[in-house]
Amino acid sequence: MLKIISYNVNGIRAAIKKGLVEFIAANDYDIICIQETKAMLEQVDMTPFEELGYHHNWHSAEKKGYSGVLTLSKKKPDLVVNGLGIADYDKEGRLIRTDFGGITLLNCYFPSGTSGDIRQDFKYAFLRDIFLWIEELKKERKQIILVGDYNIAHTEMDIHNPKSKNSGFLPEERAWMTKWFESGMVDSYRYLNPEKVEYSWWSYRANARANNKGWRIDYQSVTENLKDKLVESYHIESARQSDHCPLYLKLDI
């Protein structure tokens, strides 16, 4: 079995202070994909993670205290590649690829468009480019898992207020998600839980988490050839190190 969690920690140093290491130590995950580290490796003492048996591979943003992804794995990857090879995204630390045998795992932090039109346009460009990039990757690697914060709620089931006209639930973003899941990728959580309503992110405003006024914007997509390997997927809503919660995936691999 392969047990993966994906977790936007909204700053790994803050999350460590809120019990991130203890949360990981209490469980037995094979791989932990972290988004929004907001740190460089030299700013974080990784000894506690190493003592738990994890290798760590970082792709940090050039800008301090911003973005960044980190993949922790019990097994050392066969290959590690930082970024998509597109400078605008790579300088923001948006994606890290780790290969484990026949599996390619992509840990990704999609851009947010909430700060205005410039970043929304950047997000649309990223959506276009990562789709094309993965289509090319599929020619070389047949079994792909892409986990992370996609910053998009796909359907009305995935948002507490489906009348929202905000970034993250715009028609163009939702259409991209539909295209994504029609391109040979499977939404693991929705495949295993077709009728369930759970969220992965809550605003810090207006007591949103206590009232469960959230969005499902974190996903674990797998190629169609892994669909029959999916065993379990759920949100670990009890974890409180961030404004997101971790998403758990278990595969029979």
Would you name the residues annotated as active-site residues?
Answer: 149
- The amino acid occupying position 247 is L
Rounded Cα–Cα distance for residues 73 and 209 (Å): 30
CA torsion sign for 1, 37, 55, 135 is: positive
The torsion defined by the Cα of 68, 71, 76 and 80, in degrees rounded to 10, comes to -40
Nearest to 5 by CA among 20, 19, 39: 20
Rounded Cα–Cα distance for residues 139 and 42 (Å): 36
- Residue 58: CB atoms within 10 A of its CB come to 22
Residue with tokens 């390619």: 104
H/E element holding 117? helix 117-140
